[in-house]
Amino acid sequence: MKIQWFTISLLVLLSCSPEKERQATDRIEQIEPETTAPGLTRVWASDTLLRTPESVWYDRERDVIYVANVNMNPWEKDGNGFISRLDPQGNIIDLQWVDGLHGPKGMGVSGGSLFVADIDEVVEIDIESAEVINRYPVPGTPTLNDITVGNGSVFISGSDSNKVFELKDGSVSEILQGDFGRPNGLFREPDRLLMLTSNSSMLKSIDLETGEITDLVGELGHGDGIVPVGNGDYLASSWRGEVFYISSDWTSTQLLDTRDAEINAADIDYIIEKGLLLVPTFFDNRVVAYRLTIGD
């Protein structure tokens, strides 16, 4: 028994020699650390009292979510569209906070006003009184869709018209027209305008000084909404039911696919402070919130 124990001890000592420890350390250092891909976890879903919600917008100052309800036909001037308000937990505060609209879609806040794209006019709503205080008509058939606000201007996409408009100092003007592939989602940055298209499935960058247009990333489905994550990356939605994570190197990763369930993903918003992605589900009549996790 003593001989056997001595033999085992000797083998253990040999196995823990400095050379073997160095080799083991080298092997450990050669192992690449695991990285976690971005992902979504569902947090809540609103009641189905909403009516064809097309767009959501989080008001950080007031900690409330606005929901644009087109109420069935998104391009018919039927007067049955309305804006709802939700709290950040998905509870409906006011179902018909402001009504009498037609097909309200993209929204944005500037000062004390909520601006809404409504087919052929931009509607300005005073947030404090919940009253429509201005309507800015756009001639022709502009098919106004999304809105982004910045530096005193309201930018509006015209989908079927392949145009981009700017509302500034109480006047609307056409600033861009081209074969964009049906512009939809917009997001304004200091020196450029990001445009997500629904027919060409492309995210584009438009230089606001020169007008130069650059294709950034494609294959984004029926592009609808584009929002920043807050770290230089973006989230984009495809109306038919997909959400993509777009990295700053312009690679995309699909995070959500509800197409088989026939649940849409329309004009999204992302609450950076809460890490919540808000997805209006259109004909599914809900807003669904997801927690975004981002890999290292």
Please say if the pLDDT value at position 160 is more than 50. Answer: yes
Task: Please give the average per-residue pLDDT across 281-288, as a whole number.
Answer: 98
- What are the residue boundaries of the structural domains of the chain, listed by start? 39-293
Beta bridge partners of 41: 291
- pLDDT tens digits for 254-264? 999 999 999 99
Rounded to 5 degrees, what angle do the CA atoms 82, 109, 158 make?
70
- pLDDT tens, position by position, 26-50: 443 444 445 578 999 999 999 999 9
Which sign does the torsion angle of CA 144, 157, 242, 199 carry? positive
Domain 39-293's class?
A: mainly beta
The pair of three-digit structure tokens given for residue 185, joined into one six-digit string = 């989602």
One-letter amino acid for residue 227 of the chain:
V
CA distances, 276 to each of 88, 158, 213 (Å): 9, 28, 31
Beta strands 153-158 and 163-168 are antiparallel
Pick from 120, 124, 84, 87: nearest CA to 102: 120
- pLDDT tens digits for range 53-104: 999 999 999 999 999 999 999 999 999 999 999 999 999 999 999 999 999 9
Q: Where are the beta strands (DSSP E) in 229-294?
A: 234-238, 242-246, 252-257, 269-271, 276-280, 287-293
Nearest one of 133, 119, 130, 138 to 78, comparing CA atoms: 119
